[in-house]
Amino acid sequence: MAASCGRFLERAGVRVLARASAARPGALCRCFSSSGLLRTNDGEPTKFQPPPKPVVTDQRKEVVESRFLSPEFIPPRGRTDPFKFYIERIDMKRRRKVLNIPEFYVGSILSVTTADPYANDKTSHFVGICIQRGGKGLGATFVLRNVIEGQGVEFCYELYNPRILEIKVLKLEKRLDDNLMYLRDALPEYSTFDVNMKPVPHSPNDEIPVNKLKVKMKPKPWTKRWERPKFNIQGIHFELPEKIMEKAQKWSKPWQEFDMLREYDTSKLEREIWKEMES
Amino acid sequence: MRAGGIAPEPGSLRPFVGRPQPGWGNPNRWKLCGFSYERNRLNLCKKIGLVTRISMAFLSRRLGLLLTQVNRVIEQRHFSISGSCSAIQKLTRVRVVDNSTLGNTPYHRPPKCIHVYNKSGVGKVGDKILLAIKGEKKKAVIVGHRRPGPCMTPRFDSNNVVLIEENGNPTGTRIKIPIPLILRKKGGEFSKVLAIAQNLV
């Protein structure tokens, strides 16, 4: 058996050392373990070649570097000295080092903890949907709305108020509109959110999901005539008769989208502000 | 028209709709007039502070003629009468929020404020007011209004009120609706109201 395997291996161009154990009849031929016994034609021992590593391809989407600049950093259009906004931005940066203000949009569900001297344990907690983000600079505010025990409650919080202890985003999402004030006239189920709801996980590489919900309204009268084109609301399911919808279009100003004096291009400003923030 | 005897649901209260009524008793008269002079005069009066009843009547009688002429002009215009977003003043319809029998039994008229115990006639959270409920007068404390207040304070979707006695004790025994924490700042007179409140916002 040893001779036959030896002849086989010799044919392959490899010399085989005769083993003493092969002399016993019926013994297992060990010469098949070629790794220890293989020798190259030069006579030097071959180096152990480990098996090739498996190639792992990352099938996930490319990590797109999308940076979010909070809207209160962008200065409003006007004749105010830009230095005022510059010193405000320095203070905003300092505050952000102490308190983590997460990225959120109108339509996201937030939970805010504030220091309140009149509360039981000196902190008050509120969960609600962000319906509006207003103000620029240090006076930036956001309004949270929730329905507690059938009563609609709204809180206007200042982002940079030192009384705010924690801002947590429970559900990060966008809606079809920038201003959800119409939720006051919508059915209360659209503004009700559980105070103890668990945060919905969101990976930083995913795009912000847009909730294309169309909200059903209470019967008129409303606080504002939301059907008018001035508000440009996409997120209401209007069940009004056609006649009223057509009459509302009477107040439309189709020339406004072509008005060049109303344009405010913020891309250059945003780039400069980013450079400032990173330095 | 409202179905008889049922207290209106929050948010379903319809604002006053109608033509401007002459007569000094109607506090909403100035709001309904589109005439800017009237608005400026009202602002001036507010700036001065106290406007006595007599002076109001005198002024209105003098301007009465002017008003009727103005009314005739205004009749042709379309008014935008939006829902009131103000704090509580005379003749505001309020919502009683505790579980007292007086506040919860149905009546064909909603409870209305008839006086605000305040230097200005506008009541905010923590002010005492006089209500007309079921044909009787009752004192109450404002615990929330639709007007947005200072930052970090809650704004409610309805004008909420808790009935109290002359000595300050609340009439009801429980308040399910959330109550703002600002009431604690106002002093010990609201401690009993806060004691029966179950949700503090």
pLDDT of residue B36: 38
> Which residues from chain B sit within 8 angstroms of residue A154, using beta carbons?
148, 154-157
In angstroms, rounded to a whole number, what is the distance separating the alpha carbons of residues A113 and A117?
A: 13
Asked if B151 is an interface residue toward chain A (Cβ–Cβ < 8 A), one would say: yes
Q: Which residues of chain B have pLDDT under 50?
A: 1-8, 11-18, 20-21, 23-57, 59-60, 63-64, 66-74, 80-84
Asked if B201 is an interface residue toward chain A (Cβ–Cβ < 8 A), one would say: yes
> Which residues from chain A sit within 8 angstroms of residue B148, using beta carbons?
154, 156
Say if the Cβ atoms of A149 and B176 lie within 8 Å: yes
Contact A258, A247 (CB under 8 A): no
Residue A10's SS3 state is: helix
pLDDT of residue B70: 46
Asked if B35 is an interface residue toward chain A (Cβ–Cβ < 8 A), one would say: no
pLDDT of residue B141: 95
pLDDT of residue A18: 44
pLDDT of residue A21: 43
Backbone angles phi, psi at B123, to 5 degrees: -100, 135
Q: Which residues of chain A have pLDDT under 70?
A: 1-43, 59-66
Asked if B192 is an interface residue toward chain A (Cβ–Cβ < 8 A), one would say: no
Asked if A115 is an interface residue toward chain B (Cβ–Cβ < 8 A), one would say: no
- CA quadruple A177, A183, A187, A191: dihedral positive or negative? positive
Say if the Cβ atoms of A223 and B83 lie within 8 Å: yes
The DSSP symbol for B6 reads: P
The pair of structure tokens assigned to A219 is 């019967």
- Select the residue of B144, B176, B181 nearest A116 (Cβ to Cβ): B181
Cα B108 from chain centroid?
18
Q: Which residue has the tokens 């509580």?
A: B88
Helices (H) and strands (E) in chain A, counts: 5, 7
The pair of structure tokens assigned to A224 is 């504002």
Residue A137's SS3 state is: helix
Contact B194, B126 (CB under 8 A): no
In angstroms, rounded to a whole number, what is the distance separating the alpha carbons of residues A225 and A229?
A: 9
Structural element, H or E, at residue A88 = helix A82-98
Q: Counting one residue from A and one from B, how many pairs have CB atoms under 8 Å apart?
A: 74
pLDDT of residue A203: 87
Asked if B44 is an interface residue toward chain A (Cβ–Cβ < 8 A), one would say: no
